[in-house]
Amino acid sequence: MSPVLDALASYGARTLRVVLPGGVEESSSDGGGLVAAVDGQGMAPIAQFLSLNPEVQAVELEDEGVALRVSRHGSSARIDVRWSGGEHFEDTLDLPAGGVAGSESGLFVPDALVEDPLELIHDPSSEVFVVDTPDGHAFARSGTPGGGAGSFPLVGRLGPTLALGSSGFRERLGVKANYVAGAMAGGIASAELVIAMGKAGYIGFFGAGGLPMEAVRAGVLEIRKALGDDYAQGFNLLHNPVEPQVEEATVDLYLEQGCRVVSASAYMGLSPAVVRFRYTGAYRDGEGRPVCPNTVLAKVSRPEVAEHFLRPPPAKLLEEIAQNGGLSAVELEVAKELPVAEGITCEADSGGHTDHRPLPVILPVIRAQRDRIAEELGWAESGIQVAIGAGGGLGTPESLLAAWTMGADYVLTGSVNQCSVEAGTSELAKTMLLGTGLADVASGAAPDRFEIGAHVQVLSRGSMYARRSQRLYGLYKGWGSWEEIPEADRKKVEKQILCRPFEEVWAECEAYWGQRDPSQVERAQKEGRHKMALVFRWYLGMSSRWARMGEATRKKDFQIWCGPSMGAFNDWVSGTELEPLSARSVVTIADELLRGAAAAYRATHLRMQGVCLPDGAGHYRPAALDPK
């Protein structure tokens, strides 16, 4: 149990929660002692706890038949007690005079005043005591409450900073921080990246999307061999409505190799494959409670998509899976009681596929949606809570903290990891990303959803992919076949974009689809527009491959998925040890971003206590780059 929770353990509650701006710390025990503890010691310990820990927003204690919540309201607190029978009691609790002082006098004797307050404020492992001296506010690491020689009024106090975000998320995945390295498709989130994150106590997701099955298998085997069941690891499950057999084969591989956590992406609704993964191996424990060994984190940008993952699968889909023998009778019964996802990642302004949803809009909406569904289905009584995460646009410590402050249980990074030494892309692409600024991104046509006009956010500095892919989409929409396009436009496409004759590219497409899905060739022979789409998609698909392979002759066509967070990250690390590519390990990126988020969190809470902070407080940066 953490020190914060330990301070309230004397109440003997079955469930204890401490609500912080960055998340919730939670513990559980056998319980049964809450009522007796309140009768015996009253609310004074909670009042003192809130007084000494100004960053705590509320304390929640639950026991059999009763729930107690004490929430901060200025210099007082509100007591809210609810019994299972429907009774409800409210009252106001006065917090001790002296607030953070820790003693009735409000005086404090520091052991020593520190010369560098920034180092102390930015160190998440340290306590901070702020005293009001004749020369202004001064900072100390330790001291003794009370008056006497060398004492000063204590005006601020901060304990060691716990990991930000939900403790339940960390416990479920077995990680040390609520930080995820997302699944960048095409193997950019490489096996090496996942292994490095896992061994450092984090979790990374293998970017299986868009890779041939033999490459997916090789990556999975490498990860499983290196991490086994001892370290956290995740794998991408990309929805593939055009070729559902690929999605099914991916799930078969994951189940065969004991992969327990997937990131489900690009879903508009549920597929049999993602449902089968989630509930395979489900059982009931000794007390009859449903248990799922497999975890799904669904990446979504729309509430209507989140709805599917926040509930159990529909009966019709379960019947279809049952008819195909995909789940056992026990697994099907458990599927009726548990949501499809244990985590929903709200995808905001991300690289690659994106709806450009602002995080401050989408995150509160989906959190509220989660809470409504949980209340409707009685998840709380069953101990079920779907975590809500934030991804897209996160490239600085302040952006991570903003997500946690808005209530995210975890954060997910993407673009910044593409410029790491472990990322499975070319040195040429990484070098281009090193120079990316905030405005150096644009929208291009999406290769996998070209016909419906979907977009991906890509790097625009040094690449013409966004402009050229949009040009191809305009021709596709404007003409019924390649032959109908004016000759001057056809010559430009062949010379500047395809760099080959149209019919030569079509011959390659015909051979490819003839083996993979002959119906595509048959349709193209009948429909000129579909033939044009397959050829144009060849360019779109090859452009990302050229970037990953570092094909220098096609540099202007590189499709590099990237959001503005890459520019923000580059600005943050400019002039520091993390500026060179060689220093950008995915683990170092995670460590430094989290340290910076903790520093911003600590400065914010000292500032809220009225402490006068030195310039630069809360704006942590990695160590300066050695000029040598």
> pLDDT tens-digit profile of 277-336?
999 999 999 888 999 999 999 999 999 999 999 999 999 999 999 999 999 999 999 999
pLDDT grade for 100, boundaries at 50, 70 and 90? very low
For the chain, the distance separating the N- and C-terminal CA atoms, rounded to the nearest angstrom, is 46
Q: Are 171 and 385 in contact (CB under 8 A)?
A: no
Q: What is the pLDDT of residues 227-270, one digit of tens each?
A: 999 999 999 999 988 789 999 999 999 999 999 999 999 899 99
Residue 532: name the closest of 492, 578, 586, 477 by CA.
Answer: 477
Question: Which phi-psi region, left, alpha or beta, contains residue 258 (left: φ > 0; alpha: ψ -120 to 50)?
Answer: left
Residue 546: name the closest of 463, 473, 441, 468 by CA.
Answer: 463
Element (H, E) at 372: helix 359-377
What's the pTM value of the predicted model, to 2 decimals?
0.83
Q: What is the pLDDT of residue 89?
A: 74
Q: Are 461 and 432 in contact (CB under 8 A)?
A: yes
What's the average model confidence in pLDDT over 556-562?
A: 94
